[in-house]
Structure 1
Amino acid sequence: MTLSPTLPPLSPTPRTTVGRGRNRMVEDRAELHRLLADALIAHLGVTVARDGVSHPLVLPAAYAVDLDGPDLDGTLYLHGSVAAGWLRTATDSTVCVTVTELDGLVAARSAFHHSMNYRSAVVIGAARLVDDEDERRRALDLIVDHMIPGRSATLRASTRKELAATAVLAVSLHEASMKSRGEGPVDDAEDIEAGVWGGVIPVRRTAGDPVPSDDASGPVPADVVRRAASL
């Protein structure tokens, strides 16, 4: 594999070094950047405590990436309510963020060899609460633009009350790993000879036509039309 010459390779620490399935391991950090640009939902894993008992909690979150952000090898931003208990737990703690895109269902000739085609990333790091107001505003704009590119520039500025109610977590992209599968079934020869069908059902994300709200006025804006067409 030819790595991007200006980027450090993935899996820089033991915690993100792939053990099983090393043939699926992706070393090029540029592939991680492409996955993060394509996907829409991240899952944040934290350990929370309630009534003296700790347990893991995994939550979906909107996110955005700033490759030139203040953290080592770029910054992953996630947002939530300041009232959320998980947010207080995650701040200054080690968290795990995962992002996955499903690309296909792999139908093999045996149950054992059924699989999925996918791209999946794991990011581990200390989550910091973004206190700087300029960075928080930029991060929130990036999260909106990750959903609909160019959208933030068309909106009014967030109010102080809105900013006070919204928290942003930042995680360094330094400690990250990625795995990918993009092929047909890997079957035993005798199963192939048995004549059972094998192959892949491609899975693609698509968007319908934008649906205006009941109180919407004017035509659907260009940024929304472009985004719907690109999904």
Structure 2
Amino acid sequence: MTAEPLPRVLPVTDRTRHRRLREQGSHERADLEAILDAGFVCHLGVVVDGRPVVVPTVYGRDERWLYLHGSVASRSLAGDTPVCVTVTHVDGLVLARSVFEHGVNYRSAMIHGTARKVTDPEERLAGLRLLTEHAAPGQWSYARRPDRRELAATTLLAVSLQEASVKIRTGAPDDGDGPDAALGLWAGVLPLTSAWGTPEPDPALPPGTAVPEHVARRAGTRHG
């Protein structure tokens, strides 16, 4: 049975409603997907033993689920617990005429839900493939796949992308038409970009081992 197409506008809930800086907010699914696709590291927020814990980890996604993985020994990946997952890209510092008006140009997504521990063997492999290909496209087919022992040592969580919100800030400082414009101070944006560098081979590689094409072609390309 073919799944019904997802609505292009995310539902607004009490947890995803924009209460501040609403002009920077979005509930467009396309904006959420673009932010997720531009990165591969998220921060997983969860309560463990009554205390909040925030864990950085890599992720992958399909249209409906965000997949996260880690060691089975990690208490933050227990599953069946409420979580909040965030992904943020910093695009520049906004340097205004007054310190109060300083800010950041950014793209940020926040996802709320209950983390589901993936136990179905087919979904586990599919989720790990999504996660691997999201971080390093082409690597799933190139490298050895996980064996039974490695799968047994790995926890895979799935978080629904149904309850999420986005905020995006772009452009110049907001004080260009205010009283501080008369101060004669420079104001503007200091952009921040990151790019993949030249691949560095493992010293243990036999001489002459070529860098695979899917790795080599990312060198010099922008990340984020």
Return the TM-score normalized by structure 1: 0.89
AA aligned opposite 2:53: L
Letter in 1 for 2:21: G
RMSD (Å), alpha carbons = 1.4
What does 1:59-70 correspond to in 2, within 5 Å?
59-67=55-63
2:139 is the alignment partner of 1:143:
no
For 1:133, give the aligned amino acid.
P
Q: Secondary structure of the equivalent of 2:107?
A: strand
Task: Tell me which of 204, 207, 217 is aligned to 1:226.
Answer: 217
CA contact (8 A) 2:27 2:164 kept: no
Mapping of 1:9-88 within 5 angstroms?
9-49=9-49, 54-67=50-63, 74-88=64-78
How many Å separate the matches in 2 of 1:24 and 1:46? 26
User: Residue 230 of structure 1: CA displacement?
Assistant: 2.7
Runs of 4+ residues over 6 Å off in structure 1? none
Structure 2 SS opposite 1:143? helix
Q: How far 1:156 sits from its partner (Å)?
A: 1.8
Count of residue correspondences: 215
* Structure 2 counterpart of 1:101: 89
Deviations 1:171-225 (A, max 9, x none): 0000000000011101152211110100001111112100000022411111111
Q: Separation in 1 of the partners of 2:101 and 2:59?
A: 33
Letter in 1 for 2:76: W
Q: What is the CA–CA distance in structure 2 between the aligned matches of 1:127 and 1:12, rounded to whole Å?
A: 20
Normalised to the residue count of structure 2, the TM-score between the two structures is 0.92
Contact 1:106 1:116 (8 Å CA) reproduced: yes
Of 214-223 and 105-114, more deviation after overlay is shown by 214-223
- Is 1:189 matched up with 2:178? yes
1:200 aligns with 2:189: yes
Give the secondary-structure state (helix, strand or coil) at the position aligned to 1:86. helix
Rounded to whole Å, the distance in 2 between the matches of 1:157 and 1:92 is 27
Q: CA deviation at 1:6?
A: 6.5
Decide whether the 8 Å contact of 1:116 with 1:181 is kept in 2. Answer: yes
SS in 2 for 1:122: strand
Give the counterpart letter for 1:82 in structure 2.
V
Output the amino acid matched with 1:118. Answer: Y
Instruction: Give the Cα–Cα distance (whole angstroms) in 2 for the partners of residues 6 and 20 of structure 1.
Output: 27
1:155, distance to aligned residue in structure 2 (A):
1.6
Residue range with higher mean Cα deviation, 204-213 or 115-124: 204-213
- For structure 1, list consecutive stretches of 5 or more residues without a partner in the other structure: 68-73
2:148 corresponds in structure 1 to 160
On the 8 A contact 2:12/2:27 being kept in 1, the answer is no
For residue 134 of structure 1, report the CA deviation from its aligned partner: 1.0
Structure 2 gaps, min length 5: none
